Structure 1
Amino acid sequence: MITDRFTKVREGQGGTRAFTLIELLVIFALMAMMLSMMGPAFVKVRDKARELQCLNNVRNLAVAHILYAADHGDQLVPHAVWRPPHNGALVPAVNMTFWPDLLQPYVGDDRLFVCPCMHCDSGRGIGYGMNLQVSGAFLVQSETYAVHSMEIQRPAQTVLFADAAFVTRTTMTRPIHEWQEDATRPRGCWTLCTPSDLLWHFAPARLMPRHHGRANAAFVDGHAETLTPVQLGYGLPLGHP
């Protein structure tokens, strides 16, 4: 049998050399190490993609709102009007139609109402709330009673829509970073209470900083940003321990 100093082949064996068990274990260990190192990077990229998708959602809601205002005499979409919703409404109610269903004709894709990072047992639901301070009231008799855009003194600094969720009753009085999203709410949340709202102590509808401690928000002027709750001006009422 002819051999050279570079190749040694035993009789009865092919020219390929199989890995030994130890070598395979070393390879698997290296692969596991690489995956463990790359795993957090993949999660970070995925979360950033979801954050950007959410930001795009609220930006599109702001554009839809501008179109709505143009068709309604420069009036902001009300939080809710006193009339029965249409069949298949995003927010089912007996005698009230809420802002998601008022904006729906201008949105075109119901998925824009869903934050990709929200936690909901049903797998769907509204992920954004409307600032009750902007809507003028929780419920108005008709759309003609809504607030006009010109009444907002600082539209670029006034939140219109933002990441929101119903939080659990056990966490609603805690600091913001301890709020836990109530995943049992099948329809999500479409209301955004502020500390000055009368509903603050009773309704657990809160700003939800889903994106690593930050929330996406659309403003009355139509732009959208990713900001912390403090930057957005949301927090517990003054005097809370």
Structure 2
Amino acid sequence: MSPRNTSRAFTLIELLVVIAIIAILAAILFPVFAQAKEAAKKTSCLSNDKQMATALFLYAGDNDDTLSQTSWESDAAHPYQVHWTFLLQPYIKNWDMFRCPSDSTPIKPKVACVNGDADLGKMPMTCDWMATKGYSYIPNYNALPAHDWLPHSLTDFASPADTILVTEKRDTKDAGDAHKGLSGFLPSQPCPNWTLVQATMGTPGAGQYSYTLPELVKPLAATAGKTEFKKYDVLRVKWDRHTGGANYSYADGHAKYQKLEQTLNPSKYQYGEKWYPNSAPWNSSPCN
């Protein structure tokens, strides 16, 4: 006699139990996977910061120990610019390094090149010479000044290990004038002979400038408009991109992950101990 076939189908209750178990496991594991993915992006972004710091050192070594400006810009009738990302390209040779994997809206050139990278470095200038695929990082004006301030030497920094070179920019839709750099001071670009006073929640007096406090800018991150971005350009930093912090590279060549409060700590201020750059001869209104 052949053995009796004892197999049977799953009951509805059994199927529902299995589905429930799978759903519970998914709910537990998916956030873990997301965290692991973000941790990998954070590490990749930190590596980018480190390599940009190395490239800036190489650039300075080829230019009498002098760093670049954030950009060189022409007049209003010819609104093109030579950007720091273009100046570092001979040392990096990789445009993708200027993009953080966690940044879904990298800054694109205002005046795009018709033929992309093929137009960069060619005269007459007809487009922005910068990372054509976009970039996710923003320099410290106190290290890489704006086009209307003169560049300066690596030897200017009193504490290079605590002076930020480059960090992560806020998303395009929030970043204000995102092609620029940023300053940790209030006002953002004081005159070099002004007096640095204790950090304040108000506006410093005439001939004075102060540090920017985290409690001053943190509440503005979600609601800031053009006026706030212009006044407090630390808002241009995406200081909470990676689990409440961001990556920063420093004037001694290292890079690390920091929280906003660490970078704006008045007792160990990371945007410079004073305002270093000097006004360029062509700048008719150097202080703001």
After TM superposition, the score normalised by the length of structure 1 is 0.72
Q: Which residue does the alignment assign to 2:28?
A: 37
Cα distance in 1, alignment partners of residues 22 and 94 from structure 2: 42
Q: In 2, are the aligned partners of 1:193 and 1:205 still within 8 Å (CA)? A: no
Q: Distance between the aligned counterparts of 1:188 and 1:53, measured in 2?
A: 22
Matches within 5 A, 1:1-241: 1=1, 3=3, 9=5, 16-82=7-73, 94-120=79-105, 125-135=134-144, 137-140=145-148, 145-165=150-170, 181-183=171-173, 189=179, 191-196=181-186, 197-198=188-189, 200-201=230-231, 206-209=236-239, 210-233=241-264
SS of alignment partner, residue 134 of structure 1: coil
In structure 1, C-alpha distance between the alignment counterparts of 2:28 and 2:49, rounded to whole Å: 33
Contact 2:53-2:254 at 8 Å conserved across structures: yes
How far apart in 1 are the matches of 2:107 and 2:156?
38
Residues 115 and 127, structure 1, Cα contact 8 Å, conserved in 2: yes
Q: Which runs of 5+ in 1 are unaligned?
A: 11-15, 85-92, 166-180, 236-241
CA distance in 2, matches of 1:132, 1:23: 64
Higher Cα radius of gyration: 1
Deviation of the 1:81 alpha carbon: 2.1
Separation in structure 2 between the aligned mates of residue 121 and residue 58 of structure 1, nearest angstrom: 15
Distance apart, 1:83 and its partner CA: 5.5
Q: What residue identity is the alignment partner of 2:30?
A: G
SS of residue in 2 equivalent to 1:26: helix
Distance 2:158 2:91 in 1: 25
Say how many residue pairs are matched: 199
CA-CA distance at 1:224 after TM superposition: 0.2
What TM-score, normalized to structure 2? 0.61
Displacement of 1:140: 4.6
Kindly provide the CA deviation profile for residues 13-34 of structure 1, in whole angstroms up to 9, marking residues without a partner as x: xxx4432332222111111110
- Specify whether residues 231 and 184 from structure 1 end up closer, same or farther in structure 2 by C-alpha distance, changes over 3 A only: closer
User: What SS does the aligned partner of 2:166 have?
Assistant: strand
Residue identity matched to 2:87: L
Relative to structure 1, is the Cα distance of residues 216 and 204 closer, same or farther in structure 2, using a 3 angstrom cutoff? closer
**How far apart are residue 202 of structure 1 and its match?**
7.2
Counterpart of 1:57, as a letter, is N
Identical residues among aligned pairs (%): 28
> Which amino acid in 2 is paired with 1:127?
S
Report the Cα offset of residue 195 of structure 1.
Answer: 3.3
Measure, in 2, the Cα distance between the counterparts of 1:189 and 1:94. 13
CA distance in 1 between partners of 2:184 and 2:66 (Å) = 22
Secondary structure, aligned partner of 2:231: coil
Q: CA deviation at 1:189?
A: 4.7
CA contact (8 A) 2:99 2:106 kept: no
Structure 1 outlier segments of 4+, above 6 Å? none
How big is the shift at 1:73?
1.1
Q: Which amino acid aligns with 1:226?
A: Y
Alpha carbons of structure 1 residues 22 and 112: separation in structure 2 relative to 1, 3 Å: same
- Structure 2 counterpart of 1:175: none
